[in-house]
């Protein structure tokens, strides 16, 4: 049993404790704690449980005979740490997502325009091996939908461009989602609804937002730089 406990400690110290330390120091912590105000308590509970388990294990090593009470405390701590780990994993899993699964990448290669029954060509350039990012996938999907709808809405019946490009790529310490189009009009982030939601999403998850609205007829772009989650 002591040998099993030592194996658990090695695993917790090399993985769980390290992840807890990284979580506190990561740039996502302020945003994650806003989403889950009690996550600090869950992390502290797990940290205390591991520390107490180490103390109990040392006590057991020094005992020539392990009492029933000591054994019960040992088992109870294993269960407590397991429950705390499960709670933390549940809170984190929904916010560590693969950006390649976003709506913009799942979309077909044609975007129907809002007016006139026209279509836009939709070209994707995707790095399939980018790390996970910190956000909610449903909220990211909604943001992608707003950007694509903005392109569809502003395409005129005659003249102007006809192509939207979507890219996913790594740019340490971020994973970038970039939309580029050659359609008339600018990206207006302060308008009601629509692209205002993009700005609010970035503020909520600590993303960087870059807009390029050229003065001439060159392509414009909007880039969302999401915080990457690396092992």
Predicted pLDDT at 231? 54
Predicted pLDDT at 178? 97
Cα distance between residue 229 and residue 231, in whole Å: 7
Nearest to 174 by CA among 199, 205, 200: 205
Low-confidence ranges of the chain (pLDDT < 50): none
130 and 176 Cβ atoms separated by less than 8 Å: no
- CA–CA–CA angle 220, 215, 213 (5° rounding): 30
Predicted pLDDT at 31? 80
Mean pLDDT over the full length of the chain? 81
Report pLDDT digits (tens) over 198-212: 999 998 898 999 998
Predicted pLDDT at 33? 80
Predicted pLDDT at 94? 76
Report pLDDT digits (tens) over 51-63: 777 777 777 777 7
């Amino acid at each position: 049993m002591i040998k099993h406990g030592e194996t658990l400690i090695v695993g917790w110290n090399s993985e769980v404790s390290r992840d807890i330390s990284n979580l506190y120091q990561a740039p996502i912590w302020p945003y994650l704690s806003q989403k889950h105000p009690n996550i600090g308590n869950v992390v502290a509970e797990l940290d205390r449980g591991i520390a107490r388990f180490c103390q109990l294990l040392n006590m057991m090593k020094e005992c020539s005979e392990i009492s029933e009470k000591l054994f019960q405390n040992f088992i109870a701590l294993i269960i407590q740490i397991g429950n705390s780990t499960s709670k933390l994993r549940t809170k984190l899993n929904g916010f560590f997502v693969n950006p390649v699964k976003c709506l913009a990448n799942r979309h077909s290669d044609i975007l129907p325009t809002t007016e006139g029954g026209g279509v836009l060509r939709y070209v994707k350039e995707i790095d399939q091996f980018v790390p996970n990012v910190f956000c909610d996938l449903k909220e990211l999907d909604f943001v992608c939908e707003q950007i694509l709808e903005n392109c569809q809405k502003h395409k005129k019946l005659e003249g102007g461009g006809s192509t939207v490009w979507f890219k996913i790529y790594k740019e340490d310490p971020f994973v970038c989602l970039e939309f580029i189009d050659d359609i008339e009009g600018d990206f207006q982030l302060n308008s009601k609804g629509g692209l205002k939601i993009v700005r609010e999403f970035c503020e909520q998850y600590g993303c960087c937002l870059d807009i390029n609205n050229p003065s001439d007829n060159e392509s414009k772009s909007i880039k969302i730089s999401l915080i990457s989650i690396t092992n």
